[in-house]
Amino acid sequence: MDAGPLNVDALRRDFPILHQTVDNRPLVYLDNAASSQKPRQVIDAITRYYLHDHANVHRGVHELARRATEAYEGSRERIARWINAPDAREVVWTRGTSEALNLVAHSIGQARVESGDEIVISEMEHHSNLVPWQLLAARTGARLRYLRLTDDGRLDLDALAGLLGSRTRVVSLPHVSNALGTVNPVREIGALVREESDAVFVVDGAQGAPHLRVDVQSLGCDFYAFSGHKMCGPTGMGALWGRRALFDEMPPWQGGGEMIERVTPQRSSWAEVPHKFEAGTPNVAGAVGMGAAADYLDAVGFEALHRHEQALTRTAIEGLSAISGIRILGPTDPRDRAGVVPFVVRRTDAQDLATMLDAQGIAVRAGHHCAQLVVDRYGVSATVRASFYLYNTNEEVRRLVDGVRRAVRILR
């Protein structure tokens, strides 16, 4: 059945934070690519956990330890179903996408990468999917190779086959670009990677999971990393899905409680995955919040969410394009974007523009968005980025367009 349009007025009632004024103007929150807001349902689930169920997990035999363990492991199962993972043990909790990608780079690096091997990433990367691979390359003597960007903000897929070969150990690319909004054809990329190499295919899903239905089996990747706070969930929490056989092969990357099987004075053996990668007392409330966020997004419905974001993106692109001197980065067709609209205005500083929007109650972000290579590629030092989510309205996008017009007039 085709989902109807989102009832945005009803959804907005779930987000208490949106109902406030900034400088006497109703808040317009368009910084969702940096972090989304949290609905009452997620906040309540976390509060309920702390009010009634909290204890340390796994070790205890008492009632609260049992409940906390059920909450923690139940959320893992929930997230596994949410991304269609074949086995909940393939979901490792992390602090977020950055930690998940560092885990893969560190551990797969130790298991598989040697001097002279190659790691393929792209100019589109968030620094979280770039610096961990740089560190690995520096540690091992492996070589980083870059997939270039086209003028309209896409990965240059024609060049991908030429980067793959017998020395390629890892290919790691974003599902959706945080700096351009581009939705990448992950499934096709995965097929090509498998055809042309034996590389492990890692997907940075920080901007994918919040906006698109993720099915890790049909995407054909080996790892998928994402963060709770960008998908209506809590900060400091994320997940890494990976194929069981790879996780089994990989050494642990942090040591401590929970991750061991047996400890002797000189050496230890490791617990089974996922616990092998979860040293120390985990963020149980964070896991509970992630599960609640998945429930919330499922109730909203990804199909309707995606259509809503595309409509907002279209309104934004049409409205902003009419402002003289403006340049919008990324794909021109809103259907190729996930609710992210970055732009620059001639003779106007991006930071000044964002500051003037803030004075009108409009929250956007200015800068390189932790994607230095993207702004370098397009010859700018910074962009203003508006990014939308399920609770944003057409009216808010119109306020953005009016706000930019007014700010540009004053700044020029």
206 binds ligand PLP (CB under 6 A): yes
**Alpha carbon separation from 114 to 46, 106, 245, 247, 411 (Å, rounded):** 43, 12, 20, 19, 52
| From 36, 178, 197, 283, residue interacting with ligand PLP (rule: CB under 6 A) | 178
| Closer of 53 and 125 to ligand PLP (Cβ) | 125
Bridge partners (DSSP) listed for residue 227: 238
Is residue 370 part of the annotated active site? The answer reads yes
| From 14, 118, 204, 336, residue interacting with ligand PLP (rule: CB under 6 A) | 204
Quick one: which of 377, 389, 296 has its CA closest to 339? 389
32 binds ligand PLP (CB under 6 A): no
Alpha-carbon span 116 to 96, nearest angstrom: 30
The number of residues making up the chain comes to 412
216 binds ligand PLP (CB under 6 A): no
309 binds ligand PLP (CB under 6 A): no
Alpha-carbon span 379 to 284, nearest angstrom: 44
| Closer of 69 and 207 to ligand PLP (Cβ) | 207
Per the structure block, which two tokens stand in for 411? 């700044």
291-330: b (≥16 Cβ within 10 Å) or e: bbbbbbbeebbeebbbbbbbbbbbbbbebbeebeebebbb
| Closer of 140 and 207 to ligand PLP (Cβ) | 207
Report, in Å, the least distance between residue 223 CB and ligand PLP: 13
Report, in Å, the least distance between residue 131 CB and ligand PLP: 11
| # residues near ligand PLP by CB under 6 A | 12
Candidate segments 52-60, 82-90, 199-207, 354-362, binder of ligand PLP by CB under 6 A = 199-207
37 binds ligand PLP (CB under 6 A): no
Quick one: which of 11, 66, 17, 13 has its CA closest to 37? 17
174 binds ligand PLP (CB under 6 A): yes
The answer to whether 255 and 105 have CB atoms below 8 angstroms apart is no
| Cα distance between the two ends of the chain | 50
Per the structure block, which two tokens stand in for 193? 């990677």
Quick one: which of 171, 175, 237 has its CA closest to 206? 175
Alpha-carbon span 285 to 54, nearest angstrom: 8
Report, in Å, the least distance between residue 227 CB and ligand PLP: 3
128 binds ligand PLP (CB under 6 A): yes
Report, in Å, the least distance between residue 207 CB and ligand PLP: 5
In the stretch 233-272, what mask flags binding to ligand PLP with x, by CB under 6 A? Answer: ----------------------------------------
310 binds ligand PLP (CB under 6 A): no
Q: What is the separation of C-alpha 282 from the centre of its chain, rounded to a whole number of angstroms?
A: 21
| From 31, 78, 96, 310, residue interacting with ligand PLP (rule: CB under 6 A) | 96
Candidate segments 95-103, 184-192, 343-351, 382-390, binder of ligand PLP by CB under 6 A = 95-103
| From 36, 37, 98, 102, residue interacting with ligand PLP (rule: CB under 6 A) | 98
- 386: helix, strand or coil: strand
Alpha helices per DSSP H over 142-205: 160-163, 186-196
Task: Return the amino acid letter for 252.
Answer: P
| Closer of 53 and 123 to ligand PLP (Cβ) | 123
Candidate segments 144-152, 188-196, 200-208, 351-359, binder of ligand PLP by CB under 6 A = 200-208
153 binds ligand PLP (CB under 6 A): no
Catalytic annotation, pick one of 43, 323, 363, 370:
370
E-strand stretches of 246-363: 260-263, 268-270, 326-328, 340-345, 362-363
337 binds ligand PLP (CB under 6 A): no
Alpha-carbon span 295 to 297, nearest angstrom: 6
Which residues are known to be catalytic?
Answer: 370
Residues in contact with ligand PLP by CB under 6 A are: 96-98, 126, 128-129, 174, 178, 204, 206-207, 227
